[in-house]
Amino acid sequence: MPAPSTAERPTGPRPTSGPGAGAPAGVTGTLTAVLALACAVTVANIYLSAPLLGLVSDSMGISADQAGLVTTAGQLGYALGLLFLLPLSDTVRRRPLLIALVAGTVGALATASAAPGLPALAAAVLAAGAFTVIPQLLVPVAAGLAGPQRRGRVVSVLQAGVFTGAIAARVVGGSFGEFAGWRPVFVAAAVATAAVGALTIALLPRAADAPAAAPGSARPSYPALLASLPGLLRVSALRRSLLFQGAAFAAFNMVWTALVFLLTGPGYGFSTLGASLFGAFGAFGILVAPVAGRAIDRFGTWPVRGAGLAAITAGAALLIAAHLGPPVAAVGIAVLYAGLQAAQVGNQTAVLASNPEAGGRMNTVFMFGTFLAGAAGSGVGAALYEAAGWVAASGAATATVAVALAAWALLTAADRRRRR
């Protein structure tokens, strides 16, 4: 297992004077805030259907299992969008691509709001998930505009937006749906996506419009673009980030999937909406993002990733005792989210910095691999809870991320020996 690259190791404080210090950034505070808002609003579309499944089931007269296909369709659509649409940002102009993604998302959400039955709704949600790769287009754009001196801070703000949107989709979407019904939720999402999309497109600087490929270089065809994805795994920073974040997200989904069963079971007796509100404790994790970003810009991504993995391990271990009462579950969720946020910011920043000219494709491989690991974690968490209960599911999650933390520690030790 290779040692951390120079770019990933702690390098000490960045220079505050001299060449390269205080270089003008290509992304302003206003643009960063707008991009973060766009990430929050659009990523919410991926998770929007989950808190609405009971309402969909009742209004369409279908079973809960059938309604669950809607959420599955959204997740499948997002995976397809990551794999087949996001790589285009390396070879086509970003502004037209962003316009197409926004228009496709808005159209799919509007179609979902008027769906007459389950097949039409599932197809519309699948399309909305596929087009909603907008956050993963904007993060590499913002990272490139920020430059090395501010890349960590800018990526952390956008990731805070992503986490905010994921939490808000479950909490706000479910509450609004209880009040107005599930169809108006999709209408509101379409309007919000159109508004924030138009604002983002208007403010996107000309420097961000060019594809990530170096100027003057030959642009690969679309089939060649897709064929190049597996080869990117030769980049050690991508492999390590996938190992760390895949384990982190798998553990997170193991815990969260099983936790819903625990909270709605006889021990707690919460409703589905009440269980989803526990996700609001993850808002504490959003506060970690700026701290992680500043630490990355000063010390590099490596120590931040280690801290994130350690926090996830601690949070998952604490949640083993979640059956003791709501306060334990709340604290465990807050620590878990905080660690996941730090790990995500650190790992994604390392990936984007390792090969900026293939930023879209690097992000495709990173996010797609992380998504698959998370999906596997969800399945394992549910199966373990069904077979052996909460302690088995949360214990497996703790062990999964502890292995990644051990790998991080071994790489750190190997790097220290090499430098000596």
Confidence band of 355 (pLDDT split at 50, 70, 90): confident
Angle between helix axes 29-47 and 134-146 (nearest 10 degrees) is 160
What is the pLDDT averaged over residues 37-64? Answer: 86
- At 17 the pLDDT is 35
**With 90 as the cut, is the pLDDT of residue 197 above it?**
yes
CB-based contact 344:217 (threshold 8 Å): no
Highest mean pLDDT among 161-165, 231-235, 272-276, 371-375: 231-235
Helices marked H in 300-389: 301-319, 326-354, 359-388
Look at the chain and report how many structural domains it folds into.
2
DSSP code, position 241: H
144 and 246, same domain (yes or no):
no
Q: Is residue 18 part of a domain?
A: no
- Of the ranges 133-142, 278-287, 355-364, which one carries the lowest mean pLDDT score? 278-287
List pLDDT tens digits, range 205-231.
887 877 766 555 667 788 888 999 999
Of 43-52, 144-153, 205-214, 409-418, the one with minimum mean pLDDT is 205-214
Same domain, 261 and 202: no
Question: Is it the case that residue 288 has pLDDT exceeding 90?
Answer: no
Residue 15 pLDDT > 50: no
In this structure, what token pair is assigned to residue 338? 């905080």
Q: Does residue 207 sit in the same domain as residue 258?
A: no
Mean pLDDT of 378-407: 91
Q: Is residue 309 domain-shared with residue 387, that is, in the same domain?
A: yes
What pLDDT is attached to residue 273? 64
Q: What is the mean pLDDT of residues 159-174?
A: 83
What mean pLDDT comes out for the span 153-174?
85
Calpha distance 73→77 (Å, rounded) = 6
* Whether residue 267 sits in one domain with residue 182: no
> Looking at the predicted structure, is the pLDDT value of residue 320 above 90?
yes
What whole-number distance in Å separates Cα of residue 140 and Cα of residue 89? Answer: 9
Domain finish residue from 196, 227, 258: 227
For residue 85, give the DSSP letter: T
Q: What is the amino acid identity at position 35?
A: L
Q: Are residues 129 and 194 in the same domain?
A: yes
**Which residue do the tokens 């169809």 mark?**
183
Answer with the residue of higher pLDDT: 405 or 164.
Answer: 405
Please check the confidence at residue 177 and state whether its pLDDT lies above 90: no
Q: Does the pLDDT value for residue 371 go beyond 90?
A: no
Same domain membership, residue 235 and residue 199 = no
Handedness of CA 184, 190, 193, 195 (dihedral sign): negative
Does residue 16 form part of some domain? Answer: no
pLDDT of residue 285: 73
Instruction: Provide the pLDDT confidence category of residue 18 given band limits of 50, 70 and 90.
Output: very low
* 51 part of a folded domain: yes
- So what's the pLDDT on residue 236? 92
Cβ neighbours for 116, distance < 8 A, ≥ 6 positions apart:
none
Q: What is the mean pLDDT of residues 82-89?
A: 92
Distance (Å, whole) CA 85 – CA 101: 9
- Identify whether 279 is part of a domain: yes
Tell me the pLDDT of the chain averaged across its residues: 85
Is the same domain home to 233 and 131?
no
What is the reported pLDDT for 110? 97
Confidence of residue 308 (pLDDT cuts 50, 70, 90): very high
* pLDDT at 19 (0 to 100): 33
Amino acid type, 229 = L
173 and 304 co-located in one domain: no
Report the candidate in 138, 122, 343, 364 with the shortest Cα–Cα distance to residue 243.
343
- Tell me the pLDDT band of 11, cut-offs 50, 70 and 90: very low
Structure tokens at 80: 């397809």
Q: 10 pLDDT band (50/70/90 cuts)?
A: very low
Structure letter (DSSP) for residue 61: T
What would the two tokens of residue 420 be?
């000596």
The model's pLDDT over 90-107, given as tens digits with 9 standing for 90+, comes to 888 999 999 999 999 999
Please indicate, yes or no, whether residues 203 and 92 belong to a single structural domain of this protein: yes
Residue position matching structure tokens 């996941």 = 340
Residues 178 and 80 both lie in one domain? yes
For residue 1, being part of any structural domain is answered with no
Does pLDDT of 290 surpass 90?
no
| Residue 314, in any domain of the structure | yes
Q: Above 80 in pLDDT, residue 409?
A: yes
CA atoms of 338 and 343, how far apart (whole Å):
9
Tell me, yes or no, whether 11 lies in a domain. no
| Rounded Cα distance, 8 and 232, in Å | 18
Q: Are residues 84 and 31 in the same domain?
A: yes
- Categorize the per-residue pLDDT at 259 as very low, low, confident or very high, splitting at 50, 70 and 90: confident
Contact 345, 302 (CB under 8 A): no
Q: Which residues of 102-114 are buried (b: 16+ CB within 10 A; e: fewer)?
A: bebbbbbbbbbbe
Q: pLDDT band at residue 25, thresholds of 50, 70 and 90?
A: very low
Q: Which residue has the higher pLDDT, 276 or 136?
A: 136
> Identity (one letter) of the amino acid at 402?
A
pLDDT of residue 21: 36
How many Cβ atoms are within 10 Å of 407's Cβ, its own excluded?
A: 16
pTM for the predicted model, two decimal places: 0.83
Helix axes 182-203, 151-180, angle to 10 degrees: 150
* Number of neighbouring beta carbons within 10 Å of residue 202: 8
Of 171, 195, 227, which marks where a domain is finished? Answer: 227
Buried-exposed string 241-262: b where 16+ CB fall within 10 A, e elsewhere: bbbbbbbbbbbbbbbbbbbbbb
Average pLDDT over residues 369-377: 88
Q: 206: which DSSP letter?
A: G
- For residue 6, being part of any structural domain is answered with no
pLDDT at residue 6 in the model: 47
The residue out of 227, 252, 269 marking a domain boundary is 227
* pLDDT recorded at residue 166: 83
Q: What is the CATH number of the domain that holds 322?
A: 1.20.1250.20
The answer on pLDDT for 392 being more than 90 is yes
- Exposed, middle or buried: residue 349 (CB in 10 Å: 0-12, 13-18, 19+)? buried
Does residue 338 surpass a pLDDT of 80? Answer: yes
Phi, psi of 93 (to 5 degrees): -65, 140
Domain of 310? Answer: 228-420
